[in-house]
Amino acid sequence: MARPTRLLCVLLTVLALAVPGTAARADDLSFGVLTQRSPVLTAQYWNPILDYVARKSGVKLALKVPRTAPEANAAIAAGEYDFTYSNKIFNPRPGEPAYRVVARPDGPPIRGQIVTLADSPIRSLDQLAGREVGFPSVTAFVGYGVPMDHLIRAGVHVTPVFGGNQEGIMAQLKLGKVIAAGVNDQVMREFASREKMEYRVLWQSQPYHNLAIAVHPRVAKATADAVQRTLAGMSADPEGMAVLQASAALVGQASAEGFVAASPKDYANYEDFYRNMTVKDFR
């Protein structure tokens, strides 16, 4: 490549890296999502929902999909997102913004699970002792924090292996690269349905509400309320239901689930977990 051309490309790259890569306009509010699926699938799931919210409430939300869960957590800790869909808002450290829960998915609660392939010789957690077990990442609440906490309390010492996100570790499990994995039961079910995979649940946790939609304190209450109302009424609106059904079909959900208004009290067991957890590297 000629030198002037190469220089131009470098300048353009630097310029591009200085600007967030989104489909957003300058006046859009950001909506950061904790990565549970691949970034593209996440965007395919959320963008139609956010477009619906914009059409109905007038609040334009720009989807922000971080590359990894730690990135998402860091962004939340730094208060970069105006709205977030995450479960990393229940244990804020000093100086971190106190995101407020405004809504949650209207579906069954999620559980942490330790699973293995259906044809695996592993039948109980004891058989995992000393083995490598896969987890999405050190930041996955029901995928790592909850199941690992249980393994430690049960005295089953395993070597954790991380797949980057939920989809990543489930793919490794399917390929047989790990003997067992800690997963989100819903995401696991959807993945298995999509990939025609059969698996066995070795253990599962108490139910937790799925990730919460929370708002940054800087966002005006009226805006937060508008978003909350729109999301909560989505399943009652045929247009909203159509969007939800399309998104559900995309990720392999058995049925479309809407959103309901929620408050911090709905997530009290999260706070309990954080107070008593034994997993030192869970962040």
- Contact residues toward another protein (CB under 8 A) are 1, 5, 8-9, 12-13, 15-17, 19-26, 38-40, 42-48, 50-51, 63-67
User: Based on the number of CB atoms within 10 Å of its own CB, is 166 exposed (0-12), middle (13-18) or buried (19 or more)?
Assistant: buried
Helix ranges restricted to H, 122-201: 146-154, 166-175, 185-195
In whole angstroms, how close is the CB of 80 to another protein at the nearest point?
A: 12
What's the CA gap between 253 and 2, in Å, rounded?
A: 51
In whole angstroms, how close is the CB of 115 to another protein at the nearest point?
A: 26
Q: In terms of CB distance, is 39 or 264 closer to another protein?
A: 39
In whole angstroms, how close is the CB of 47 to another protein at the nearest point?
A: 3
Q: In terms of CB distance, is 60 or 189 closer to another protein?
A: 60
Burial 193-232 (b: 16+ CB within 10 A, else e): eeeeeebeebbbbeebbbbbbbbbeebeeebbebbbbbbb
Block residue for tokens 């977030």: 84
Q: In terms of CB distance, is 16 or 268 closer to another protein?
A: 16
CA dist list (Å): 142 to 147, 205, 232: 7, 8, 25
Helix ranges restricted to H, the chain: 3-17, 39-57, 69-77, 146-154, 166-175, 185-195, 221-232, 238-251, 268-276
| C-alpha Rg value of the chain to the nearest Å | 20
Q: In terms of CB distance, is 48 or 264 closer to another protein?
A: 48
In whole angstroms, how close is the CB of 35 to another protein at the nearest point?
A: 8
What's the CA gap between 217 and 221, in Å, rounded?
A: 9
Block residue for tokens 């200085």: 18
